[in-house]
Amino acid sequence: MVRGRVRSGDGRSKRALGGRVGRALRSLGRPLLAAARAVSSRSDLALGLLAVLVLVLAWSTTRPWHDVPASLLPVLALCQAAPVLLLRRAPFVGWGAAAVACVVWWGVAPAGPEAPMPWPVVQFLVLLATIVAVGLWGRWREVPVVVVATGVLLLAAMPDGLKPWALGQALVMGVALLVRWLVISRRQIAVQQDEVETERARRAVVEERSRIARELHDVVAHHMSMIVVQAQSAPLRHGVDDPAVVGEFAAIEGSARQALTEVRSVLGVLRDENGPVETAPQPDLSQLPALVRSSKAAGMPLTSSLRLDAADVPPGTALVIYRVAQESLANAARHAPGAAVELTLEEDSGWARLMVRSSGPPDADVRTSGGPDPRVAGRNGDDRESEGDDVTGGNGIRGMSERVRAVGGTFEAESVGEGFVVIATVPLVGRPHVAGLG
């Protein structure tokens, strides 16, 4: 038992030591890996470091195989390292410089009897590197020139044991071309995927616009046409001759006709599948005073205080504010007719705060219709009960809350005494120009 315990303790100590060594290696490897990634992401820096390495190797390995003066070693080393700097920006020129350097070494400074090839090994490696660079980044018409010229040079200058490198350099070029083809294929696949996703998104937008157009045509336009017909025939059907009453019906007919014309213009935009989404009309804060005036003209006891410049509000945020105000006024007119309504819009430290408060109780029909009060919801869109007619999205308490959250704001809707209050707070800075929220 004692031996087993001792062995178990030794195993735990070894595992602990191995864990510490592993953590130390990982902590050392992370900065090295980060440095390697930083260098690889900057091709000029990577080629500069590679040229320095070639310079050092060429300087230190030339004298054993070639009888050249020591004073010429820096110049010869620079000549061997210079083509490395041209690998990315001018690979064909770099290959030409490396090939000319090989010819010079072969004719002017022949190697000793123990040298493996007629030029330094570093020079040969640089030549292969330029061949790879031409295969990866050179023009297609340069590839056969490099393969043929390099093959002739190696067949003429290499000893018999190394002449197969004339074929080997062609294989190196083939591998480089294969890598290049793979990279081009991956890029083409990525472009095709982007095009497919773009087309899919465009089709989704077109389908949504077609659905909205059908709803507008089948519901809104039909009802507006009926309103026009009823307003025209009401004085005749009821035998009314009072000019004031006839004028009221004429005003209703004119407003309905104008609304019908606007609906038809929107239908034309939505049915244009080739038109961009941005051409669809979107309201902004400059139209909020007109909304207030039309609500007052409809008989709503509305007081408003608009202390926010429309030019300071991004388009997406302005659309959200307008839609929330529009839906809040519509809910107040529908569920608490005759109740006094207060609308306030102001700026507070880079935020826009919209408050719509109704001071009267909801309609009795709403309370006794068997369903819950459709205006009651929690803060920030945590609805306790959603509206029964909220089937198309964007309206009701839930729709307003989603709109506000889409631009990074907060939303509150709750009963206050016998009335109801809606408060939307949205940022004016640091938010993108949200589109498509209409």
pLDDT digits (tens, 9 = 90+) for 246-285: 788 778 877 777 777 777 777 666 666 555 544 445 567 8
Q: At 400, phi and psi to the nearest 5? A: -65, -40
The answer to whether 422 touches 380, Cβ cutoff 8 Å, is no
* Contacts of residue 80, Cβ cutoff 8 Å, sequence gap at least 6: 54, 55, 58, 101, 120, 122, 123, 126
**Is 49 inside a domain boundary?**
yes
What value does the mean pLDDT of the chain take?
76
Residue 326: both structure tokens together: 């529009």
Specify the pLDDT at position 233.
Answer: 74
Q: Which residue has the higher pLDDT, 254 or 158?
A: 158
Specify the pLDDT at position 248.
Answer: 80
Per DSSP, helices labelled H in 272-356 are 288-297, 315-335
In whole angstroms, give the CA distance from residue 372 to residue 367: 7
- Pair (302, 340) in one structural domain: yes
- Residue 285: closest CA among 354, 233, 218: 354
**Is 124 inside a domain boundary?**
yes
End-of-domain residue from the set 244, 262, 279: 279
- Pair (55, 128) in one structural domain: yes
Predicted confidence band at 378 (pLDDT cuts at 50, 70, 90)?
A: very low
H/E stretch holding 388 = none
Range of the domain at 117: 32-163
- Pair (291, 421) in one structural domain: yes
CATH number at residue 399: 3.30.565.10
End-of-domain residue from the set 236, 259, 279: 279
In this predicted structure, the answer to whether residue 134 has a pLDDT above a threshold of 90 is yes
**Is 56 inside a domain boundary?**
yes
- Pair (298, 420) in one structural domain: yes
Q: Which residue has the higher pLDDT, 169 or 297?
A: 169
Query: pTM of the entire structure?
Result: 0.44
Q: How many domains does the chain have?
A: 3
- Pair (273, 298) in one structural domain: no
